């Protein structure tokens, strides 16, 4: 039981004893830096249930807590705020409990029920771009956070490998490609195919302009451009199973898949299972028929099938066209049901998709609920804002997107330039330098994107993200490397880990440093006489470490890597303040020195764990 839970119980006891009132909840906040204390009990909210002077009420609660809770060593009351001082013994005891826990903050057991997280889900007519990077980083990180919180997780994507947009690239390659392949051009397959998507759009616009110049209405010209009509015909042939079209489709998609794999590998994301739209686009039609019989859907005079959601504040939504073909909604209904069939242990799903699809997912989840699927209540849309650049918005058809591979390479180059300027790479081999540049560059990119709440739009500034100061990935990576340097120096001068050193008395130094044990059957803290007093900065650092498990759970509940990112920044700021104001290896008292080395080590472990949840590596030297 943590100290806040204990305090909550005891505050309620105090109110019951003094005022004969059962308090429903107790509100806490961290004590302000300018007051003595660690946890502040908010007295003002209690006045709805307890009549009296808030200062007197706070005084009575404080006296009760100091008497009843061993961890409370003092208190003070400022107006309606009861500032509670938690003893050094409590924090030392806590640190003793976690110092040798390798995956501190992570759930010790995995739940049986699973959750599926979908992300990336690209089209196979172009390479991944900056928008896909945010999608992938969010989806992958949320999956890792859910795992750390105790969930069983399946990571998946649905690859949009069919449709008119695919046929546009195929037709342009037939027209202008001259048999080009990734091997003959030296281009990644997704880039090569993407070039032909741009080429199609260029040819299409030229034909539209010619028709308009010839006096054709612009809207008619857009629909009747010959190259577009050919692409539509190609799609019809694909759906009919035309051997030549299907063979070209398989070839060009194969190029793209290989290109995607290279990008995913460089970005550090992976998947447990893949779905393809070419396999799923017919799913859901049978469900629509069942829904018609149940009265969930209705058929219009033209034969199309709809659902009326106006009572829920939405509108009418088509689920089957008059010619019997499916729409995207139909496919998504069928795919969701198929996933539950494929993985019966799934209790819910997370869809990582941009906020322009907010309405789509509201409708999808509501339809699945009306169809009677109990798991529909556990469906979540991880909605995120777009990523903009200082130069403006990206446009795929015009070839003005920021290519994901190019961006990652640029980030690595930027990291190299800044690192060379700082001149901290003496003794590195060229390969070690390149590995470090990539680690810093990708760390900067990932952290810059993930530190922002997913719902917010991002203006991405590459140079700003690689700053070695402030709330950036490289700043946190540098702090981790500093801690590893401290630990190496500690080894050199003979300061070992607490678990391996013994004191002159023959006791483990771990026991001497913490000097704490829990009296069985009670919350009484027993403190050895030789326990070192905590420096205020040591205490603040341990308090920050205490927040990590709670932060992991909160990030999982909110599907927000930003909570992990910003927690890590706060931990690093607290460590750097500790490092600047407290001597570690220069401390003369051996017990204090050992405690500080072990404290630094634990902070490093938590930084590494937290950054692992964000998909970011940390360097041992920097």
User: Hey, where are the domains in the chain?
Assistant: 3-86, 114-284+326-388, 285-325, 466-613
Distances (CA, A) of 47 to 4, 41, 53, 63, 194: 21, 13, 9, 19, 65
Backbone angles phi, psi at 379, to 5 degrees: -95, 135
In this structure, how many other beta carbons lie within 10 angstroms of the beta carbon of residue 353? 19
| Coil vs helix vs strand at 158 | strand
Which pairing describes strands 305-308 and 316-320: parallel, antiparallel, or unpaired? antiparallel
Angstrom distances, CA of residue 501 to CA of 64, 366, 504, 603 = 41, 61, 10, 20
600 within 8 A of 486, measured Cβ to Cβ: yes
pTM here is 0.89
Question: Taking the CA of residue 380 as centre, how many other CA atoms within 13 Å lie in the half-sphere pointing to its CB?
Answer: 21
* Domain 466-613: CATH class, spelled out: mainly alpha
Residue 339: other Cβ atoms inside 10 A:
20
Paired with 30 in beta bridges are 39
CA distance 422 to 445: 20
d(C-alpha 69, C-alpha 2), whole Å:
12
Tokens matching residue 524: 């009484």
Note the Cα 436 to chain centre separation in Å.
23
Q: Is the Cβ–Cβ distance between 610 and 567 less than 8 Å?
A: yes
Q: Are strands 458-459 and 387-388 parallel, antiparallel or unpaired?
A: parallel
CATH superfamily for 114-284+326-388 is: HUPs (3.40.50.620)
Kind and range of the H or E run holding 501: none
- The reply to whether 3-86 and 466-613 are identical in fold is no
- The token duo for 249 is 């489709």
From the centroid of its chain, how far is CA 237?
Answer: 41
What is the strand order of the sheet 114-118 is part of?
273-276, 152-159, 114-118, 346-354, 379-384
CB 523 within 8 A of CB 70: yes
Q: Token pair of 268, please?
A: 């550090």
DSSP secondary structure of 97-127:
HHTT-TTTTS-SS--SSEEEEE----BTTS-
Q: What are 53-112's pLDDT values in tens digits?
A: 999 999 999 999 999 999 999 999 999 999 999 999 999 999 999 988 889 999 988 999
- Three-state DSSP class for residue 490: helix
pLDDT at position 532 is: 67
Its CATH architecture, for the domain 3-86, is 2-Layer Sandwich (3.30)
pLDDT of the residue at 400: 55
What residue ranges of the chain have pLDDT lower than 50?
Answer: 393-399, 498-529
| Closest to 363 (Cα-Cα) out of 609, 351, 541 | 351
């Amino acid at each position: 039981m943590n100290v806040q839970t204990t305090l909550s119980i005891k505050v309620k006891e105090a109110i019951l004893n003094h005022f004969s009132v059962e308090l429903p909840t107790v509100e806490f906040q961290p004590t302000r830096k300018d007051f003595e204390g660690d946890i502040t009990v908010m007295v003002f909210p209690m006045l709805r249930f307890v009549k009296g002077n808030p200062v007197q009420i706070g005084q009575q609660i404080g006296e009760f807590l100091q008497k009843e809770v061993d961890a409370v060593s003092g208190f003070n009351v400022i107006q309606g705020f009861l500032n509670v001082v938690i003893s050094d013994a409590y924090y030392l005891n806590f640190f003793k409990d976690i110092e040798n826990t390798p995956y501190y903050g992570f759930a010790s057991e995995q739940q049986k029920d699973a959750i599926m997280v979908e992300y990336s889900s690209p089209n196979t007519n172009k390479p991944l771009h900056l928008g896909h990077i945010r999608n992938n980083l969010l989806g992958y990180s949320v999956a890792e956070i859910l795992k750390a919180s105790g969930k069983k997780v399946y990571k998946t994507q649905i690859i949009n490998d069919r449709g008119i947009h695919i046929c546009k690239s195929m037709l342009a390659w037939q027209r202008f490609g001259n048999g080009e392949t990734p091997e003959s051009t030296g281009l990644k397959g997704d880039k090569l195919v993407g070039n032909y998507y741009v080429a199609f759009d260029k040819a299409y616009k030229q034909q539209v302009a010619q028709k308009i110049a010839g006096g054709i209405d612009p809207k008619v010209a857009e629909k009747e451009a010959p190259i577009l009509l050919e692409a539509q015909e190609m799609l019809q042939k694909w759906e009919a199973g035309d051997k030549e079209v299907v063979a070209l489709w398989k070839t060009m998609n194969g190029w793209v898949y290989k290109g995607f794999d290279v990008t995913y590998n460089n970005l550090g994301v992976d998947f447990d299972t893949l779905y393809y739209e070419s396999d799923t686009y017919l799913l859901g039609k049978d469900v629509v028929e069942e829904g018609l019989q149940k009265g969930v859907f209705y058929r219009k005079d033209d034969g199309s099938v709809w659902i009326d959601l106006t009572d829920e504040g939405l509108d009418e939504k088509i689920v089957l066209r008059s010619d019997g073909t499916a729409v995207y909604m139909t496919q998504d209904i069928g795919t969701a049901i198929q996933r539950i069939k494929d993985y019966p242990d799934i209790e819910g799903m997370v869809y990582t998709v941009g906020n322009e699809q907010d309405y789509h997912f509201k409708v999808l989840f509501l339809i699945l609920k009306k169809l009677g699927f109990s798991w529909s209540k556990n469906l979540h849309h991880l909605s995120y804002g777009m990523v903009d650049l200082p130069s403006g918005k990206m446009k795929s058809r015009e070839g003005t997107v920021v290519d994901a591979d190019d961006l990652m390479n640029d980030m690595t180059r930027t990291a190299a330039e800044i690192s060379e300027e700082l001149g901290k790479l003496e003794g590195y081999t060229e390969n070690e330098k390149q590995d470090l540049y990539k680690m810093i560059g990708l760390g900067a990119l990932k952290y810059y994107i993930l530190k922002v709440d997913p719902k917010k739009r991002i203006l991405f500034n590459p140079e700003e993200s690689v700053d070695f100061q402030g709330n950036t990935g490289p700043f946190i990576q540098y702090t981790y490397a500093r801690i590893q340097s401290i630990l190496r120096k500690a080894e050199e001068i003979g300061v070992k880990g607490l678990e391996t050193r013994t004191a002159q008395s023959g006791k483990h130094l771990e026991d001497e440093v913490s000097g704490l044990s829990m009296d069985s059957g009670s919350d009484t803290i027993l403190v050895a006489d030789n326990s070192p007093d905590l420096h205020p900065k040591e205490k603040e650092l341990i308090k920050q470490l205490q927040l990590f498990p709670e932060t992991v759970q909160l990030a999982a509940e909110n599907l927000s890597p930003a909570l992990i990112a910003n927690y890590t920044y706060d931990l690093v700021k607290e460590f750097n303040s500790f490092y600047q104001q407290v001597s570690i290896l220069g401390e003369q008292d051996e017990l204090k020195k050992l405690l500080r080395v072990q404290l630094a080590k634990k902070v490093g472990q938590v930084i590494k764990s937290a950054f692992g949840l964000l998909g970011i590596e940390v360097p041992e030297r920097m």
